[in-house]
Structure 1
């Protein structure tokens, strides 16, 4: 069964049964690559250029929100990746005029931002400290840091992402919806994080 047939199956089951379908399809857990392929297809599905009824669009967004949230809940992807995609889908929902009614709370600006803010792997203070350490490391690096020209490059079998990279990923995505957030507390927290961009 390939990704196309998987997607058809996902769209054919009720939203509340998607988690059960994924568990049966991938009893040992789906790979991050599979989840990302699904996320990308979800994004295309909810794009404004696709002709669909308002009810169909609302259903598509509900499926997207459930799948992304599920992937994070069962640790199919890193929480930061899920936050990035949830904010990405939420920002697409903002493009519709007239707006889409009956969107899940998690795809409204306040809901998406609040959910994403809970996915930062470290505190702001830790992010500042990590950023300073990285800057010092880069400033003091020698030739061994760079790949040899014409030489053999050994890549790790699995790429490791630092907590700081995940922070930057979420911060980048938060900027897409920050101007639409109405909750003052959420807005303050977003801007407190976004201000870290100037610490470099």
Structure 2
């Protein structure tokens, strides 16, 4: 595969992610996860691929991913404490039966906290390559509370 073809493929991937998020085809957190994954992948090429879209730079992909986080840090911690309490106080009916059939009724909903956790799981893939101090500080602030979630 030629370097130009790689750049075209990565550009197409970034465009598809942005469009899927914009149209609501995927949750913003899933888009952020994949954008960070593609940005991290592009860093692995030596020599670096020229002609990549701006969104696939570490700074731009991280900044965009941070914008997709649906909760504030304070709200994420509060939601985590609520979830922890629900798990600790749950009755047997809360859990799926072991070895039994599980039937999901209705649409499966993902919480804002799950979206925060998904994005934070991918941020480290590019965080060591961040040049912008403001983005780096925001990432550091999120990663500092990750253990509390």
Tell me, yes or no, whether TM beats 0.5. Answer: yes
Mark the runs of 5 or more structure 1 residues left unpaired by the alignment.
1-51
Query: What stretches of structure 1 move > 6 A for 4+ residues in a row?
Result: none
Q: Distance in 1 between matches of 2:34 and 2:28?
A: 10
3-state SS in 1 of match to 2:52: coil
Q: What is the aligned-residue RMSD (CA, Å)?
A: 1.3
Mark the runs of 5 or more structure 2 residues left unpaired by the alignment.
none
Higher relative contact order (CA 8 A, sep 6+): 2
Pick aligned residue for 1:167 from 106, 112, 116? 116
**Match for residue 83 of structure 2?**
134
Q: Following superposition of structure 1 onto structure 2, how do residues 76-91 of structure 1 map, counting pairs within 5 Å?
A: 76-91=25-40
Q: TM-score, normalised by structure 1?
A: 0.71
Q: Distance in 1 between matches of 2:75 and 2:14?
A: 29
Q: Following superposition of structure 1 onto structure 2, how do residues 7-156 of structure 1 map, counting pairs within 5 Å?
A: 52-149=1-98, 151-156=100-105
Deviation at 1:151, TM superposition (A): 4.9
Q: Distance in 2 between matches of 1:60 and 1:116?
A: 20
Q: Distance in 1 between matches of 2:78 and 2:99?
A: 36
Deviation at 1:150, TM superposition (A): 5.4
Q: Distance in 2 between matches of 1:141 and 1:96?
A: 48
Q: Distance in 1 between matches of 2:11 and 2:62?
A: 17
